[in-house]
Structure formats: structure tokens, C-alpha cells
A and B are shown apart, each in its own frame.
Chain A
Amino acid sequence: MTEEPLVRWDWIARNWANGGPTAISALLENHVVMAFLPVLFGLVVALPLGLACVRWRWLYQPTVALMNVTYSLPSLVLFSIFLSITGLTRSTVVIPLTFFALAVLIPAVVDGLASVPDPVRQSAVAMGFRPVRRLLRVELPVAVPVVLAGLRVATVSSISLVSVGALIGQGGLGNLFIDGWQRQFYTPIVVGIVLIVVLAVLADGLLVLAQRLLTPWSRARRTA
């Protein structure tokens, strides 16, 4: 048996965009979509839910407990539960990952709103803001840094978790791992790992950039 090199560049070249569903570029695209949809859905659900938890304090503990239980379940278990409902589709991966994102994002929204200093909230009331406007113009904007920090965690973990979906054939770049293991062929595995890491770093970098643009006022402020 000849020594198998760690990376066969010709394999990458042949499989980057061969037009089929297993092309690396197609898997990459799949991966991006399946990683970002849960974060997007998570944010859309976490915002009102987080607001509700702030408005009705008693909601917060049960909600967080429920989300943490979900979070503690191995993703594989969740996948198999949803497999029986949604079958071998993307939803079977996206729905559990949405729950994972929620487990991070709901506390982030709640903590974000709690991070609004009391004098700021009170002076908004005293200036004559009505509740909705106060939320939209003062409280949510001031909560942005904390929410974005949660969003970074949710995004990166979502990018890495998508690969587990490979077990049901919906794992984006994770499919490369299965392919590699089955054939004792390292190149797809290396390609998968590298692309996932690059994707995670890139997404995180974009969010940091977004934070800089959105909240120029928060730099060096936290210690004050």
C-alpha cells in the first residue's frame, strides 16, 4: 500500500465545482445556508421572547432552563427526534440548531437589556419617551453590544454543529468527513476542517466589524 498524502490537490481541483451535489462548492454553500438560518431564526424568536422575559420576570428562569436542557441534549438525539417528523431534509438540521441558537441568544437579549444602566433608562422616562419608542431608540440600541457578543457565539457554534447533520446526509461540509472516513482518504477531511474554520473566523470577523460600525460609542466604555 502506497503512502497516502495528507492532501491530494488534484482531488480538490476535480471536486471543487464538478456540477454535482457533492461538489465542494455546493457543500460549502449548503453549509453556509444551514449554519446561518438557525442563527437568523434564533434572533427573530429570541428578540420578542427576551423582551417578554424582561417584561415578565417570572418567565425568564423557566425559559432559560428549557433552553439549557435542549442545549445539553446531544445534537444527534435532537436530529433523530426531528428525523421522524421532518425526514431527511434540511429542516431536520436547521430546527435543532435553532434551539441551540436560542439557548445562547435569549440570555444575550435579556442580559443586553439588563446592561442598560438604570440612570439611562430613568432619564429616558423623565425626558418623556413613551415605552415603545424608549425600547426602540434607547434600550435596544444600548443592548446591542451584549446581544452581538451572544450572536458571535451562536454563529460560530452553529457553523461547527452543522457538520453533525452529515449523519443524515444534510451536513454541508460535514459530508466530506463521512466520505473521508469511509474511504480512508484524508483529503476531504482536511478540506472540510479548513473550510469550516475559515468560515467560522470569517463570520466572527464580520460580526466584529458590524459591532464596530454599529456601536462606535461602546469602544473602551465597558470599564467606565
Chain B
Amino acid sequence: MITIQNLKKSFRTEEVETLALNNVNLKVDDGEFVAIMGPSGCGKSTLLNIIGMLDNPTEGSYNFAGNEVSGLKESQRTELRKGNLGFVFQSFNLIDELTVFENVELPLIYLNISKSERKQRVTEVLERMKMAHRANHFPQQLSGGQQQRVAISRAVITKPKLILADEPTGNLDSKNGLEVMNLLTELNQDGTTIVMVTHSDHDSHFAHRVVHLFDGQIVTQNQNRPVGAAI
């Protein structure tokens, strides 16, 4: 699904140029669950953002499901992202002014899906995530764990091929964190590819493979278990 070759990303300010990613080569197969780990500032999130097409690499190639992404314009990236990708963030990133239902519904609106189908799909997903009873609440009225469940609902509503999770348990206590990881694992078992950035060794064990990043380079890759095997 993902093939990254010799990828570089540098940030330039007036005086300093920082190389955030240096010659990264990474391949992620369909249905795989990959965790990216490393110390703060090693380039994990930058890599995730490039995989999520929120950012463009400075050099190198990034192929997503047969499409070369590097060099695409923002509008083209948005088009490719639509329906194919779902995001789960550490800080949930729900829109405060929209209810749980409306937050989850939003990606479908952008895909121009009919109202009746939207309603059906959102209801299904919320029931699956055990959030149906909270459909009309606003994000501020929910606990952190609940908010992340809503965020995951929103990420999966379009049935994406790939979910990108950026420290999805970072703002949660261990109980809620475990619930979220179980949800992601479930999704992965249903066939969704997952790339997750995490600091947590515990969380990384849910992945098939752990990629270690240091100073912008991949230093090691450990296989926890083969793809398809249970934890």
C-alpha cells in the first residue's frame, strides 16, 4: 500500500535548516499494523504527516496505492486523501461546535453522500463504538476516552484503506488507552491498514511491526508477529 523511497524532509527558517527526515525507506503492506517509535523530535510525526498527505516531502518518492504523491498540489492531495485515509490524533481534534453525530458525519458530507446513507452509516459506526447514546452531545461534554472513540468513529466512517494514528492514547488514562488500542486492533483485523506513532512500548505491542526512528532515520524494524496473527 505504501512505498517510501529515499525520502527527505527539511525545515528551513531564516538561519537554520533542520533535516527532519533523512533517507527514509519504508514499505507498508495492505492490512499491516505498523507502529513508529522514537524519542521526541526524531521525525515520527513528520513521517506520519507525509504518509497522511498533510505535508509534502522535500525529496524522494512516496507511492500510495499506486499513486505517486510527492509533488502533488494541496488540492490534489486532498482529493486523494478523501475516503482513503482516516486520522486519529492525540488531542482528538473534534470540532467543538458540532455534535458527536455531526463530527462523525462530516467526512461523508465532503464525499457528497446522501443524507439517508449518512445517517445510516453514522448510526452504525457509533453503535459499534458504543457511542450511540452520546450522538447529540458536544465534544466538551465527553470524557477523553469517549472523545477518542468519536475521533476513531470519524476516522473509519469512510471505510478508509489506511488509518493514521498519532499517539492515540497520549492523552488518555490506561483503561481508556487500552480500549482505544483494542478498537484499533479490531479495525486492523477487519482489514484496515494502520500506521501509528507512539511513545508507549505497551501500545507498540499491538502492532505487527515496530519501526524505530532516530534523528530522522530508521534505525531498526522489529517484527512482533506475522500479519494476520493474533496478539
* Chain A partners chain B: no
